[in-house]
Chain A
Amino acid sequence: AQSVTQLGSHVSVSEGALVLLRCNYSSSVPPYLFWYVQYPNQGLQLLLKYTSAATLVKGINDFEAEFKKSETSFHLTKPSAHMSDAAEYFCALNAGNMLTFGGGTRLMVKP
């Protein structure tokens, strides 16, 4: 069975500070992993994806994530938070035709 756990349903950072959103997964097969961002009343937008190539994946808006098999993790980072990064972030794992989502992390950015 596959599962995704996002540690911290709410994360607050100051503008300019490092953003770290945590994601751990469980999968019986080599996973494809994704991070999506959702702004209020909008659909999910793909930030980045890991598909078994490079373990460090760069995405849009300076976000990146590192796949660590030994830690079963796929944490999302950004060096410097902007006010516009305030949104909900979802980690997801591909299992066949299906995505298994984590519960989401709401990122708040303080001025």
Chain B
Amino acid sequence: SQTIHQWPATLVQPVGSPLSLECTVEGTSNPNLYWYRQAAGRGLQLLFYSVGIGQISSEVPQNLSASRPQDRQFILSSKKLLLSDSGFYLCAWSVAGSTQYFGPGTRLTVL
């Protein structure tokens, strides 16, 4: 069966520091991968999606970036965090654009 992992589960970082969040999927090949953010009191915002290795589409311009170095690995990065980057980050996968399955999330607090 397929599983999706995210780490770390919780992260507290100072403003201006770098960020790297990792998402990996097991049990499937060539999935579509997605990064979402939930800010406090707001809904789900799609940040990036990827249909294959090295293929990244950005939905929202910001100081975040994403990379997909391997088929089942999706990384969210920032060179310098802002206070507004705080939130709950969710990774998701799907096959052929159908049902999306979500990871457990990473709670990021920027101080």
Count B-side interface residues using an 8 Å CB cutoff. 21
On B, residues with C-beta under 8 Å from A are 6, 32, 43-44, 46, 49, 51, 88, 90, 92, 94, 97-105, 107
Q: Which of the four size classes fits the interface of chain A?
A: 20 to 34
Among B43, B99, B105, contact of A101 (Cβ-Cβ < 8 Å): B43
Which residues of A lie under 8 Å from residue B98 when comparing CB positions?
32, 51, 94
A99 within 8 Å of B by Cβ?
Answer: yes
Interface majority SS on A: helix, strand, loop or mixed?
strand
| Contacts between chains A and B (CB distance < 8 A), count | 45
Q: Is the CB of A102 within 8 A of B51?
A: no
For B44, the chain A residues whose CB sits under 8 A away are: 44, 90, 101, 104
CA distance A58 to B105 in the complex (A): 26
Q: List 16 A-B contacts (CB under 8 A).
A: A32-B98, A41-B88, A42-B104, A43-B6, A43-B90, A43-B103, A44-B90, A46-B99, A51-B98, A90-B43, A90-B44, A96-B97, A97-B49, A97-B94, A102-B43, A103-B43
